[in-house]
Chains A and B, each alone.
Chain A
Amino acid sequence: MGLSTSSVITLHVNGEKHTLPVDHRTTLLDALRERLDLTGTKKGCDQGQCGACTVLVDGRRTVACLQLAVAAEGREITTIEGVADGDRLHPVQQAFIDLDGYQCGYCTPGQICSAIGMLAEHAAGWPSAASGDIRPAVGPTPLTPEEIRERMSGNLCRCSAYTSIVEAVARAAEADASSAARVPEQSGEAAV
């Protein structure tokens, strides 16, 4: 059987289709940054250990550094550039500005994508390691600060804006429970 080390693929990013040849070694992260000039998604470790490259794939938060671009073909990808509704910021984005949920800003796109995905997970009734009784009969866990902390722990912030990040995520969740958990349309609401 013949070998090929590259493919022409079509990536669906923020509602747009991009057809490009990729070296199979290219991660989704590098494809976004180096090929599509979508540099909002950051490379913090390239090893799945920091969360800076978090994007939504089919509505679910994913680290783009461990996702091969060729394997992402056919999936709906949403990056930080695609979470706002035109000029209207996503409630999570606005809360990060208002409550200073960042400092250097490098982990921020990943934090925001992660928070959007996380709020959808919570809205779908998923428990977390911070949830006490996880039996379904007990019902959904309220989104306490402790829940937010645990659920957001896959996103390191070395400036350590954690306390403000938790406040920002909580405010976004409270302000508009439905829209804060809104996974941008092109990613498909039914993802979780």
Chain B
Amino acid sequence: MREFDYRRAPDVSGAVALLDDDPDARYLAGGTNLVDLMKSGVERPGRLVDVRELPLDRIESAPDGGLRIGATVTNSDLAAHPDVRSRYPMLTQAVLAGASGQLRNMATVGGNLLQRTRCAYFTDTTKPCNKRAPGSGCPALSGEHHNHAILGASETCVAVHPSDMAVALAALDAVVHYETADGQGELPLDQLYLPVADTPHRETALPTGALITGVFLPPVPVAARSRYRKVRERASYAFAIGSVAAALDTRDGVVHDARLAFGAVASRPWRARTAERALIGAPATAETYAAAAAAELAAARPLPHNGYKVTLMHNLTVAVLSELAEEAAL
């Protein structure tokens, strides 16, 4: 690990100013990903700007019924918040499905959104990786990729985004707020993550030096009946090999509204809009759910060793939607 300067940001504008002053600097919040990446040499910042104590740690109800979540709210506090649990239960479930109690106590909302892929070639600096060292190649394509992308990937990178929280936020139309030296800005979560294309090292649409200040959740009535289910290779404390965030509102046997997003299948949380279109207005039956899953997964381009993910995501989607429908019928 390289030596570095450390500053505690006095306030948001001070944080932005400290970072803007130095292109070699990084914001430090919970540190659960950044410090790890510094140890492995993937990140070698010359300065850390600690934003952990900025007054961005509140969750507040917005007048329109939505929620404003500060960027330094910990994963634990987000998951435990009564309004999140009652109005967006899939978000609480997604956060609780991630990492461990200790890590959730440290990790923040802003940091969670910006965490890097756990692709083992990315985190090993002795290996080529187009995301870490543009143009060096992608060994995962011909190597070990059983937990890599089946959707939206390119020939340059097949890594998946590791966040559970972001999958729920994608389904909930969250909007990310940020600040730069030029002022404040916002990005819908759908537009936060850039397509892989041939620039996998460019991950987000945030302007240079931007500090995420919070996430806004609009009112999403259908989310009151929602669920996040994650499949992984052990029962806890592991990244997903596939996950589904789903919300379903059925009325008179017909899908009135639905939200659906997939995790661990793409470089970004994957909002399944094709499936949503197939669901809304269709009969609330297992056949509909299967057809919707198939419609979304028609775009899947599995690699030689991750074809099982297409089956997994199909089955998981049908299972979660069926569970939600059954519970609604009770």
Task: Give me the interface of A with B, judged by CB distance under 8 Å.
Answer: 1, 3-5, 7, 23-25, 27, 46-48, 51, 54, 60-63, 66-68, 70-71, 114, 117-118, 121, 124-129, 131, 134-137, 149-156
Contacts and interface: CB of A to CB of B under 8 A. Distances in A.
A48 B5 contact: no
A68 B106 contact: no
A114 B236 contact: no
Contacts of B93: 129, 134
A161 B39 CA distance: 30
A63 B50 CA distance: 18
Interface residues of B, number: 40
Given A51-B102, A127-B79, A136 B85 contact: yes
Interface of B: 1, 3-6, 21-22, 28, 30-32, 35-36, 39, 46-48, 50, 52, 76, 79-80, 82, 85-86, 89, 92-93, 96-97, 99-103, 105-106, 235-237
A68 B35 contact: yes
B102 A126 contact: no
B3 A5 contact: yes
A7 B35 CA distance: 18
Given A46-B39, A127-B80, A114 B102 contact: yes
Given A24-B3, A121-B76, 17 more contacts: A4-B6, A48-B32, A48-B103, A61-B105, A66-B31, A66-B36, A68-B31, A71-B28, A114-B101, A124-B80, A125-B80, A126-B79, A127-B96, A131-B96, A134-B93, A150-B236, A154-B237
B6 A24 contact: yes
Contacts of B32: 48, 63, 66
Contact of A47 (B39, B82, B89, B92): B39
A136 B82 contact: yes
A16 to B, nearest CB: 23
Contacts of A156: 237
A48 B39 CA distance: 11
A10 to B, nearest CB: 14
Nearest to B1: A25
Contacts of A151: 101
27 contacts: A3-B47, A24-B3, A47-B39, A48-B32, A51-B100, A62-B106, A66-B30, A66-B103, A67-B31, A68-B28, A68-B48, A70-B6, A121-B76, A127-B79, A127-B80, A127-B92, A131-B96, A134-B93, A134-B96, A136-B86, A150-B236, A151-B101, A152-B101, A153-B100, A153-B237, A154-B102, A154-B103
